[in-house]
Amino acid sequence: MAESTERVTAPESLEVTDLDLVRLAQAGDTEAFGELVERNRRAVFRAALAAVGSPAEADDVAQEAFVTAWRKLSGFRGDSQFRTWLLSITWRKAIDRRKSLTRWLKLAASSARDEAGEDLFDVVEQVPSPARPQDLAYEAAELQQDVRRLIGTLPRKLRDALLLAGTGEHTYDDIAEMLATPVGTVKWRVAEARRVLKRKLSAMGYRDE
C-alpha cells in the first residue's frame, strides 16, 4: 500500500512510460530498470506462481526472468509492449523450471496433505473434532479446498489458462501471448476448465446453487 501511495503522490513518475524507462535502461540506467521491475513485479510473480505453484519457486523464477530481461534488453525494439515481452520471458522460465523439477505435480499431489495434514474428507469423517465448525463458512472452505485439489488435477493446458486468468493481473491478450495461443483458444480453455471443475464437484456430491 505504501508503494501505491508513493506512486499516487508522485505523478511525474506516472508520466514516464514503460518504453521511456526501457530506453533509459538500454543506455545502462539500472534505476530505470528498477522502476520497470517495480511496476511489473506482481504480474511477473503471479505468472510464475501460476506455472510452478510455489511462492518460493515463483520468487526465484521472477528474479531470473527480470535478470534475463535485463540481459536481453538491447534486443527489445518496442514492437510489442514491454510488459508482454517480459511476461513471455517469465512464462518460458517458469515452464523450464516446472519441467526440470516437476514441482507442480509433486505439489499438487501433496498440497492437501501439507495444508490439512491429510485429505480433508478423511479428517472430517474419521476424526470429528469438537472445534469443527458446522456452519456455511466451513462448508465453503471445504468446497474451496476441494476446488484447489481438483484444479491441480486438471490437464496442464486448461490449468495454466485458468490460473493465469485467475491472477487478476493478466488480460486474455497477455495470456494468449504467454501461451503462444490465440485469444479465443485461451477463453475456451478457461471456460472448459471451469466446466470440468463443476462436473467433478457435482460428481463429488456438491450442489451448485
- Residue 112 is a binding residue for other proteins (CB under 8 A): no
CA distance 171 to 149: 25
- Binding to other proteins (CB under 8 A): which residues in 175-194? 194
- Residue 139 is a binding residue for other proteins (CB under 8 A): yes
Which range touches other proteins (CB under 8 A), out of 9-17, 39-47, 83-91, 92-100?
39-47
- Residue 127 is a binding residue for other proteins (CB under 8 A): no
Q: Which residues have CB under 8 Å from 87's CB, separation 6+? A: 43, 44, 47, 170, 174, 177, 178
- Residue 55 is a binding residue for other proteins (CB under 8 A): yes
How many CB atoms sit inside 10 A of residue 45's CB? 20
Applying CB under 8 A, among 24, 105, 123, 147 the residue interacting with other proteins is 147
Q: How far is the CB of 37 from other proteins (least distance, A)?
A: 4
Applying CB under 8 A, among 24, 70, 183, 187 the residue interacting with other proteins is 70
Length of the chain: 209
Measured in degrees and rounded to the nearest 5, phi and psi for residue 204 equal: -80, -5
Task: Please name which of 22, 54, 56 lies closest in space to residue 40, comparing C-alpha atoms.
Answer: 22
CA distance 12 to 37: 18
- Residue 89 is a binding residue for other proteins (CB under 8 A): no
CA distance 186 to 193: 11
Task: Please name which of 73, 49, 76, 10 lies closest in space to residue 170, comparing C-alpha atoms.
Answer: 49
- Residue 172 is a binding residue for other proteins (CB under 8 A): no
- Residue 148 is a binding residue for other proteins (CB under 8 A): yes
Binding positions for other proteins, rule: CB under 8 A: 30, 33-34, 37-38, 41-42, 45-46, 49-50, 53, 55, 58-59, 62-64, 66-67, 70-71, 121, 124-125, 136, 139-140, 142-144, 147-148, 151, 162-164, 166-168, 194, 197-198, 201, 204-209
